[in-house]
Amino acid sequence: MRAEVHAPPESHRREVQHREHSQREFPHRDFYASPTGRVAARLLRARLQEVWPDLTGRQVLGLGHANPYLRLWRDHAERTLAAGTAEAGVLPWPRGEPNLATLVEETELPFPDFSFDNVLLVHGLETAENGRRLLREVWRVLKEDGRLLVVVPNRRGVWAHLDTTPFGQGRPYSPGQLSRLLERTMFTVERRQVALFVPPFRTRLLLRGAGIWERAGRALAPRFAGVAIVEARKEMFGAMPVNALPAKGRRVLMPAAMRFSPGEEREER
């Protein structure tokens, strides 16, 4: 008796192909839409708000894939922009409103010098081809008293060793390694934080105890956090970074909605 093999319907094949394409093109979006990603974002937002509780009247840039975290300050900041790198990709942000997101080259940011008061770098440094060049560009666009907040996978954490999430991509750092890198690129480290002690569970039942994992981890095993968070201040006086490379000038075309002027009044949301 011959067994019959039925090909899946064309609509099913198209659905599978679309899902696979989406996962390749927008892995960060898919992660943050999952139960694991939503819990990770909630825990990280709590830590970031401890460091920057109020950015009223400030010019804020989110670099890498910072979209899930920028809402912490958007309502009170003078201007908030999201700049996605090639590795992280870019998605329209904020949802349902005029777009404030653009795709940038990590070593040639399309913003004038001294444009921003605060830069949040998430899902960017660990996948950068040249981390020092990226940080040099961040230094350039920060104002004289500017602050940088960097979030990277912690080398000792579980998240850095599982490639099923964005925190398992690229090069992880220990808090000490990240601090030394920042100091070599003309930043002064001000504060360190850690977060994500809960393992990257995929089921809602296991994720319900995330708060307990966080409290216990911070008290008992802070060195094994999933991510390291370092705040640094731009250092205006000092030697140029070792082996610094000149940033190449280039002309960048941006959508009309993204024209940027540091002194421009914030549009009505």
pLDDT digits (tens, 9 = 90+) for 35-69: 999 999 999 999 999 999 999 999 999 999 999 99
pLDDT of res. 248: 52
What is the rounded CA–CA span in Å between residue 269 and residue 252? 25
Q: Which of 198, 148, 200, 158 is nearest to 178 (CA)?
A: 148
Helix/strand/coil for 218:
helix
Cα end-to-end distance, the chain, whole Å: 68
pLDDT digits (tens, 9 = 90+) for 196-236: 999 998 888 788 889 999 999 999 999 999 999 999 999 98
Please report how the helices 210-220 and 35-51 are oriented relative to each other, as an axis angle in degrees rounded to 10: 50
Percentage with pLDDT > 70 across the chain? 78
Give the H/E segment covering residue 148.
strand 142-153
What is the rounded CA–CA span in Å between residue 255 and residue 51? 32
CATH number given to 13-236? 3.40.50.150
Flag whether pLDDT at 4 surpasses 70. Answer: no
